[in-house]
Structure 1
Amino acid sequence: MGAMDDYQQWEESLLTTELPRWDQLPKFDLYMDQVVAFINTTLGKLEFEPVTASMINNYVKHKVVLAPVKKKYQSMQIADILVISLLKQNYSLDVIHSGINQVTKRNYPKQAYDHFIEMLEAGIREQQRPEMVGADQLNEKLLEVAVESIITGLKAKKLLKLMEREKA
């Protein structure tokens, strides 16, 4: 099987990607090691760099993620860490933080998170992306560009990996 066949097979496997919606996030608070395991399991199929406890501590230190309460993380913090993990390949922490603030300024975090995930999955499947009813056009464009950058980055990394393997 050639590298292009491998790539097409990988692309097909992406079509089954399902990321958790807000209501599918853990209902109970998680300790750091549980958060790390949840994030890495959730994003494993996408072949992102694994998240570490020190990365999460850095997000908290830079106030991109709220500090845990009694060393436990809640749904909101887990959603933020998932979004950061998806975007950090292409954007700085400051840009991600600013983007999260802009999007959640106009929508509740649950709605904004779910909409982002729905847009990402639609983009992966190359379907028309859903629009949030009554959404601000700039907000929608920001989400659209962010989603496109994630998908393009995933594809570029996979292609480079296959090309390096073929060259070796």
Structure 2
Amino acid sequence: MIENNQYKQWQEQLIHVKFPRWKELPALGLYIDQVVTIVNEQLSGVGVEPLTKSMVNNYVKKKIIQAPVKKKYAVNQLVDLLIIGFFKPSFSIEEIRRGIAQATLQSYPQQAYDRFVTILDQKLAGKKVAVENADAQTVELTSLAIDAVLAHLKAIHLVREMRCQQAPQVVVKKK
């Protein structure tokens, strides 16, 4: 059996990934370069492709996130970008926006985001999901969406590892 060292290292690294809670995020307005840096630092821990300034600008133009005020982004926009960045490997932007809207129907954005972080932390650590004072369907939706992204990322990392260890063989069709 082929050993998957890089894949195993990546899986072990996931245990230590901790997205910041709402109150741990910068409260002062941030410029786009700062926002992209913060978001990408978090996303790199799980192996998600980074966001670019162009992507953020397109999200603003398409009204996926609120426009910055005097070129400065607030915490709620940073949170939206963290969530979009995490879920974009497996879901369309429209599906992500609908999921955010659904998760914030019965709680404030801060509570919904912190619940997402709690569930993500538990999933990455391989623990059973336990969230107090939360709607069971919203917790289930968030858990399933996180599972989908993690399964997608695991498959990508495993295929990458397998390719590095053994190049695929070309099959020639006999006539």
TM over 0.5: yes
1:143 maps to a residue whose letter is T
Question: Is structure 2 residue 25 aligned with structure 1 residue 16?
Answer: no
Deviations 1:2-23 (A, max 9, x none): 6423322221121111111101
Aligned to 1:55: 55
List gaps (5 residues or longer) in structure 2: 168-175
RMSD of aligned C-alpha atoms?
1.4
Contact 1:119 1:144 in 2 (8 A): yes
Normalised by the length of structure 1, the TM-score is 0.93
Equivalent residue for 2:135? 136
CA contact (8 A) 1:103 1:112 kept: yes
Identity over aligned pairs, percent:
39
Aligned partner of 1:57: which letter? N
Higher helix share goes to which structure? 1
- Deviation track 1:64-114 (CA, whole Å, cap 9, x = no partner) reads 211111111000000000000000100001110111011111111011001
- For 1:6 and 1:53, locate their aligned partners in 2 and report how far apart those are by CA, in whole Å: 29
- Kindly report structure 1 stretches of 4+ aligned residues shifted beyond 2 Å: 135-138
TM-score computed with the length of structure 2 as normaliser: 0.89
Q: How many residues align?
A: 166
Give 5+ residue unaligned stretches, structure 1.
Answer: none
| Alpha-carbon distance in 1 for matches of 2:122, 2:45 | 16
Which piece of structure 1 moves more, 110-119 or 135-144? Answer: 135-144
SS of the residue aligned with 1:105? coil
State how far apart, in whole Å, the 1-side matches of 2:148 and 2:123 are.
10
